[in-house]
Amino acid sequence: MMRKNIKIIWYLIIVLWGIHLVQIIFPINLLSYGIHPRSTHGLMGILCAPFLHLNWNHLIANTMPLCILLFISLTYNSKLTISASIFIILMSGLMVWIFGKPASNHIGASGLVFGLIGFLLGIGFFTRELKALLVSILVGSLYGYAIFSLLSIQAGISWAGHFFGFVSGVVFASFHRKD
């Protein structure tokens, strides 16, 4: 099980870094495939944006927390993690497309990172299962500070991507509520 989870993470890293290398090596502008709010061309970005990064610093900044959060989440429940990740990418991407700043381009895996934070924090709250609560406490201690970044807007950083990623993760966790 552990090997399978690590393989999944490695495949994702290979895809993320491979796409970035292609963008650098070949004279093509993949960044134009980000989410462009309320633009028909920008709809494609809902699927593409998480795999596109502006530069190496951006890619590295997303890779480390993504690997850690995916490892924790896959260890908790691999099937639920795959479903959560798909939901987070689609829902947060759609919300950024609807509500994002006009004439902007949203790229990067940070929406998924914040979505996983929201999912892993929320799953303990909504299920009230010991394993889920321990996961929530672990993620809260590792990444709880990141929630405070949702309170500030910085130029060049997709606040909408972070915010709607987090909300999408919490919403997905709420689907697993135990009454």
Q: Where are the domains of the chain?
A: 2-174
- What is the reported pLDDT for 129? 95
Taking the CB of residue 155, how many other CB atoms lie within 10 A of it?
4
- What is the reported pLDDT for 40? 93
CATH second-level architecture of 2-174?
Up-down Bundle (1.20)
- What is the reported pLDDT for 179? 62
What is the chain's pLDDT, residue by residue, as a tens digit (179 residues)?
Answer: 789 999 999 999 999 999 999 999 998 899 999 999 999 989 999 999 999 999 999 999 999 999 999 999 999 999 999 999 999 999 999 999 999 988 899 999 999 999 999 999 999 999 999 999 999 999 999 998 888 887 777 776 777 899 999 999 999 999 998 76
Q: Please, which residues bridge with residue 153 across strands?
A: none
- What is the reported pLDDT for 156? 67
